[in-house]
Structure 1
């Protein structure tokens, strides 16, 4: 970008009245400052109270052990206003220490290809084992994806020099079947656009396979899929990324990701499959491999939940699903399905979790067990427990409810206004009086005379 372009860009960032900053992965740093040497007795509330005169605070992260905070404002100019607090006594109290306030820059990392069962806790621990405790402000997971090649996180560190050490130590580190990728966050906007285009193209080149048995070789899958797109004479090496990715963590089995080198083949396969209504490869009479376009986990789960609601109790395997709610809304997005599955199975010996859906709209999760007996055991174990906590993280402080798919869907209606008003209810009851032998209908009550009423008290 030219010098004139840079000046114009920074002028736009500083002009609060014209345009709100879009806080994406690199512009976020333009609105964030770091505060050090805070009093030991302080907390996030007092920090926000002191800096709120500078502008609207979107988020504050506080490392209490080292008295350091990271404050993110809405606008660039608000962050610049916070810099004027540098070398002042905290809370303007002469007895408080003198704080330092600096722009938070070049201290964030972009991380991907970590193991499929890693949550933000494991990612944070991974970095702090290398860099030391209290060096990670936060781990952000803005787009959890099912495919391991598309999972990524942002790790905000304490200082810039920690980024170099983390990249040297962790980039390329092998963790099981995964090779970690760690890079500096905050790429120039042009590079980000290229990155997005690359990943959009990659998304269009991939199929998600289910019912993929261990004895189904890559070769036979390749041959059948090439018949679908009419590329039977093309060498496998020139047609696919080899081998087929087969995640197997013991929880979700018989799945795979088939990546093409040409997105047109995927389009052609899906088009012909839609016409024939056959989205599968027939290996033999008893083995069909089903395929669909790879989408984000959130998209797939929303579609599946909508299907569940559409069919209600007629939904296949309805009785194998158990809902858990309410959970902390902000924690659901960080909930790792593999960790929860392990936790449930450890609490209910002999049970087996076969599927899992995050339903953030209703502040809950849906868990599919292998048998209805497992579902019954889970209800007995978890219904009305006071909190849900595992791996030292609380996911709810409220009474946990265990129910069906429809119970979860209706859970947010518990405190809403009744569908039938009291006036309408009375009208209905007058037409349809009670039939209890020990109670009298409203019509009978109306026919009572004054003398009848007096006799009730004699």
Structure 2
């Protein structure tokens, strides 16, 4: 499997010890803190090191013997990490801490079972007597098929031990790849142009005149072209599209000037290439914009989900919690804009079954919502709403019953809540109370 490094690690500096104050590369800006008191947490560690420089992230965990705690502190720059080293031998509580640069301690792992989570990766290392300080999965926002992880361990010796004991071992039918992470051996990502916003997407092209020579002639005036990609289109298609990647982002931005201009007798549309597969994005748009309840009756939404949750993990979760079979799941879409996943099921009955089984369960330390597409859209709208207007406005003076109703939150799916009133402290009214209230003359 080809290694693809995150773009944030592209600018690897050659000298890790000098002139590295501008780099944000975690390989040279992270420290390991040992022998912290057992009461230490992220906030306490961050406060202790805040005078060293800007902090990007803090991980705190018990050591293997659970006698003290470790912390991984990632700074914005190498200089900040060097400043943090001056804290070594200082006392935190009754403990004298040790601070060192976390260098050459990162593993690169891939080909582990698709359903593996961060917890599973940590358990994998623990099974051979090693501690995983940090496990980082790639974002699946732009490519749902990526499957690898970066794992920080306390020392280079632990790193070598992990490679010796785990490389090539079989887990659930997959031969694990476990190697030392080496930024200098990175390979260029095939989707780099899209991620760096150097690629444009052109629509409404006439297939009769569509070829790379024609496109190059028309668009090279905006800047040097890296490559041109023309997707295969169905014979007889009337509208076609193409992707053009430039060497620089500025050239791609300049090419947007040609949007809504005419080419071969057609008004073309030009946008920066989307970071998600075009066809899949179009299907997701159709689902989210549809108002046909029948068409949406076999689709469920799962939210909130981070963009590091894979389709395989979602599938495994459905099989375990909802008790459905693999054949019942027709397709899974990961929708980063809504921080969710849309699952197309075999029939309507399965939708109800999944919602009843999945709504409100705990998944990776978060409460997972499961509902219809309408539930998802309503939730998304309510979360983006800053001020919620009064739902019911009455001309007459409010009665005690009105106050009580206003104190009750509306449908949880919509997440719209009115301000609590003094009546909210009263006991909740039963069905008989409501019946007597309405029937009272």
Same fold (TM over 0.5): yes
Contact 1:118 1:336 in 2 (8 A): no
Q: Deviations over 1:171-226 (max 9, x none)?
A: 222335533222211322xx32xx1157879xxxxxxxxxxxxxxxxxxxxxxxxx
2:375 pairs with one of 407, 419, 423: 407
> Could you say if the C-alpha distance between residues 316 and 79 of structure 1 is closer, same or farther in structure 2, counting changes exceeding 3 Å?
farther
Contact 1:345 1:353 in 2 (8 A): no
What is the alpha-carbon distance in structure 1 between the residues aligned to residue 110 and residue 37 of structure 2?
Answer: 36
What is the alpha-carbon distance in structure 2 between the residues aligned to residue 157 and residue 275 of structure 1?
Answer: 57
What is the alpha-carbon distance in structure 1 between the residues aligned to residue 167 and residue 278 of structure 2?
Answer: 30
Instruction: Report the counterpart of residue 196 of structure 1 in structure 2.
Output: 188
> Could you say if the C-alpha distance between residues 317 and 274 of structure 1 is closer, same or farther in structure 2, counting changes exceeding 3 Å?
farther
What is the alpha-carbon distance in structure 1 between the residues aligned to residue 293 and residue 182 of structure 2?
Answer: 46
What is the alpha-carbon distance in structure 2 between the residues aligned to residue 107 and residue 299 of structure 1?
Answer: 38
Instruction: Report the counterpart of residue 87 of structure 2 in structure 1.
Output: 85
Deviates more, 1:331-340 or 1:52-61: 331-340
> Could you say if the C-alpha distance between residues 186 and 395 of structure 1 is closer, same or farther in structure 2, counting changes exceeding 3 Å?
same
Equivalent residues in 2 for 1:160-309, closer than 5 Å: 160-188=156-184, 191-192=185-186, 195-196=187-188, 270-271=231-232, 273=234, 276=237, 302-309=281-288
Task: Report deviation, 1:301.
Answer: 5.5
Equivalent residues in 2 for 1:373-384, closer than 5 Å: 373-383=349-359
CA RMSD across the alignment: 3.7
> Could you say if the C-alpha distance between residues 182 and 104 of structure 1 is closer, same or farther in structure 2, counting changes exceeding 3 Å?
same
**What is the total number of aligned residue pairs between the two structures?**
308
Contact 2:321 2:358 in 1 (8 A): no
What is the alpha-carbon distance in structure 2 between the residues aligned to residue 334 and residue 198 of structure 1?
Answer: 19
What secondary structure does 2:330 align onto?
A: strand
Instruction: Report the counterpart of residue 394 of structure 1 in structure 2.
Output: 365
Task: Report deviation, 1:336.
Answer: 4.0
What is the alpha-carbon distance in structure 2 between the residues aligned to residue 343 and residue 55 of structure 1?
Answer: 41
Instruction: Report the counterpart of residue 142 of structure 1 in structure 2.
Output: 138
Equivalent residues in 2 for 1:64-103, closer than 5 Å: 64=62, 65=66, 66-90=68-92, 96-103=94-101
What is the alpha-carbon distance in structure 2 between the residues aligned to residue 162 and residue 75 of structure 1?
Answer: 25
Contact 2:61 2:69 in 1 (8 A): yes
What secondary structure does 2:57 align onto?
A: strand
What is the alpha-carbon distance in structure 2 between the residues aligned to residue 101 and residue 318 of structure 1?
Answer: 55
Pairing 1:353–2:329 present: yes
Instruction: Report the counterpart of residue 267 of structure 2 in structure 1.
Output: none
What secondary structure does 1:41 align onto?
A: coil
Deviates more, 1:174-183 or 1:299-308: 299-308
What is the alpha-carbon distance in structure 2 between the residues aligned to residue 100 and residue 130 of structure 1?
Answer: 25
What secondary structure does 1:84 align onto?
A: helix
Task: Report deviation, 1:319.
Answer: 1.5
> Could you say if the C-alpha distance between residues 97 and 175 of structure 1 is closer, same or farther in structure 2, counting changes exceeding 3 Å?
closer
Contact 2:300 2:351 in 1 (8 A): yes
What secondary structure does 1:153 align onto?
A: strand
Task: Report deviation, 1:101.
Answer: 0.7
TM-score, structure 2 normalization: 0.60
What is the alpha-carbon distance in structure 2 between the residues aligned to residue 336 and residue 301 of structure 1?
Answer: 15
List runs of 5+ in structure 2 lacking aligned partners: 1-12, 194-226, 241-273, 395-441
What is the alpha-carbon distance in structure 2 between the residues aligned to residue 47 and residue 267 of structure 1?
Answer: 49
Larger radius of gyration: 1
Task: Report deviation, 1:347.
Answer: 3.7
TM-score, structure 1 normalization: 0.58
> Could you say if the C-alpha distance between residues 421 and 77 of structure 1 is closer, same or farther in structure 2, counting changes exceeding 3 Å?
same
Instruction: Report the counterpart of residue 19 of structure 2 in structure 1.
Output: 12
Instruction: Report the counterpart of residue 156 of structure 1 in structure 2.
Output: 152
List runs of 5+ in structure 1 lacking aligned partners: 15-19, 202-263, 280-294, 427-458
What is the alpha-carbon distance in structure 2 between the residues aligned to residue 53 and residue 300 of structure 1?
Answer: 49
Q: Deviations over 1:352-396 (max 9, x none)?
A: 33322333332333222211011122333444x3xx225xx3232
| Structure with higher helix content | 1
Task: Report deviation, 1:316.
Answer: 8.7
Task: Report deviation, 1:162.
Answer: 1.0
2:103 pairs with one of 102, 105, 123: 105
Task: Report deviation, 1:87.
Answer: 1.1
What is the alpha-carbon distance in structure 2 between the residues aligned to residue 168 and residue 76 of structure 1?
Answer: 30
What is the alpha-carbon distance in structure 2 between the residues aligned to residue 277 and residue 315 of structure 1?
Answer: 31
Contact 1:120 1:139 in 2 (8 A): yes
Task: Report deviation, 1:77.
Answer: 1.3
